């Protein structure tokens, strides 16, 4: 379990990281917490020849209030999100889900930015950010840009980030009293999700005004449960069970050692119902 040889550079700032990326081209990779990148390098599924360490960019480790949004620096560790009072009170689903990522060791090293940039649909946070309609701030040699979560995840382990771009910040709306839930199903404590479901429910006058539901591990990218979302828009709170029945519609999750495609779809329906019930009561 030892990776191939690589060179190592330390970035002093986000701008510097972009410069280094420009210098080294395609063969370079940013190193954040290293908890996704290093395992695949050890398995030799990836073999970058240069690692650009952004682990010391402490100015990208923050949670800030910005009007009706929260801004979270890309280098914020899962554990900091999990324990942030601001996140807990304004966007509880994020704090809760960050607390379900791996084990404490992983949460102390792994970063929010790394979790998103890695683009693994089996990770817990991407689906939640998708359900939150988050925005991602990106810096590159061509300047800064902002991209919606819905446009960010392109394919299996592929995102809209160009090779010379760095994700610097994630912005999510405050929940403002909306109900939320994240349901993770795994067979073994602290393991990756077989399926996960994040749900945010807005209510008005006893009915559901909107439901936003994001899936973990139901496709090669994080996806929304569109059919259920539509069925619940403006619907009565009694329609949750029925709407959850369509949660897996249009999905074709993979079959692997952890579960068959059909079982994943079954879990998606069960967990969606549970997530919606919990969101409603919260």
Binding-site ranges for ligand FAD (CB under 6 A): 29-37, 39, 54, 74, 101-102, 106, 109-111, 113-115, 117-118, 123-125, 161, 166-167, 192
For residue 97, which phi and psi values (nearest 5 degrees)?
A: -70, -40
**Minimum distance between the CB of residue 171 and another protein, rounded to whole angstroms?**
33
Nearer to another protein, 190 or 236 (CB): 190
Could you say which of ligand FAD, another protein, none residue 24 binds, taking C-beta under 5 to 8 angstroms by partner kind?
A: none
Rule CB under 8 A: say whether 190 interacts with another protein.
yes
Token couple for 8? 């190592």
The C-alpha atoms of residue 282 and residue 178 are separated, in whole angstroms, by 8
**Residue in 119, 185, 229, 248 binding another protein, rule: CB under 8 A:** 185
Rg of the chain's alpha carbons, rounded to an integer? 19
Could you say which of ligand FAD, another protein, none residue 142 binds, taking C-beta under 5 to 8 angstroms by partner kind?
A: none
**Minimum distance between the CB of residue 35 and ligand FAD, rounded to whole angstroms?**
3
**Residue in 45, 58, 177, 187 binding another protein, rule: CB under 8 A:** 187
From 275, 186, 272, select the one nearest 225 (Cα to Cα): 272
Could you say which of another protein, ligand FAD, none residue 176 binds, taking C-beta under 5 to 8 angstroms by partner kind?
A: none
Token couple for 102? 């791996």
Binding mask 3-32 for another protein (x = CB under 8 A): -xx---------------------------
Rule CB under 8 A: say whether 257 interacts with another protein.
yes
Nearer to ligand FAD, 157 or 227 (CB): 157
Could you say which of ligand FAD, another protein, none residue 23 binds, taking C-beta under 5 to 8 angstroms by partner kind?
A: none
Question: How many residues interact with another protein (rule CB under 8 A)?
Answer: 19
Distance of CA 208 to CAs 29, 129, 198, 240, Å?
Answer: 44, 21, 16, 9
Rule CB under 8 A: say whether 188 interacts with another protein.
yes
| Positions that interact with another protein (CB under 8 A) | 1-2, 4-5, 185, 187-191, 257-260, 263, 266-267, 270-271
């Amino acid at each position: 379990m030892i990776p191939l040889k690589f060179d190592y550079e330390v970035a002093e700032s986000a701008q510097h990281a972009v410069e280094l990326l420009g210098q080294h081209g395609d063969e370079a990779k940013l190193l954040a917490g290293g908890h996704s990148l290093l395992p695949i390098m050890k398995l030799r599924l990836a073999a970058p020849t240069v690692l650009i360490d952004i682990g010391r960019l402490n100015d990208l480790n923050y949670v800030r209030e910005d009007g009706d949004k929260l801004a979270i620096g890309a280098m914020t560790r899962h554990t900091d999100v999990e324990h942030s009072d601001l996140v807990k009170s304004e966007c509880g689903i994020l704090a809760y889900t960050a607390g379900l990522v791996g084990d404490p060791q992983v949460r102390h090293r792994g970063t929010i930015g790394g979790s998103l940039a890695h683009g693994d649909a089996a990770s817990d946070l991407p689906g939640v950010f998708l359900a939150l309609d988050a925005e991602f701030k990106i810096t590159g040699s061509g300047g800064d840009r902002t991209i919606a979560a819905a446009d960010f995840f392109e394919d299996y382990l592929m995102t809209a980030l160009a090779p010379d771009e760095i994700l610097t910040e994630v912005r999510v709306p405050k929940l403002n009293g909306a109900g939320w839930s994240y349901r993770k199903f795994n067979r073994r404590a602290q393991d990756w999700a077989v399926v996960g479901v994040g749900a945010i429910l807005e209510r008005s006058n006893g009915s559901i005004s909107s439901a936003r539901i994001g899936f973990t591990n139901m496709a090669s990218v994080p996806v929304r449960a569109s059919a259920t979302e539509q069925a619940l828009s403006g619907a009565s709170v009694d329609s949750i069970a029925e709407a959850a029945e369509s949660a897996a519609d249009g999905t074709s999750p993979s079959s692997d050692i952890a579960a068959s495609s059909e079982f994943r779809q079954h879990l998606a329906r069960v967990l969606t119902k549970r997530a919606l019930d919990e969101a409603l009561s919260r």
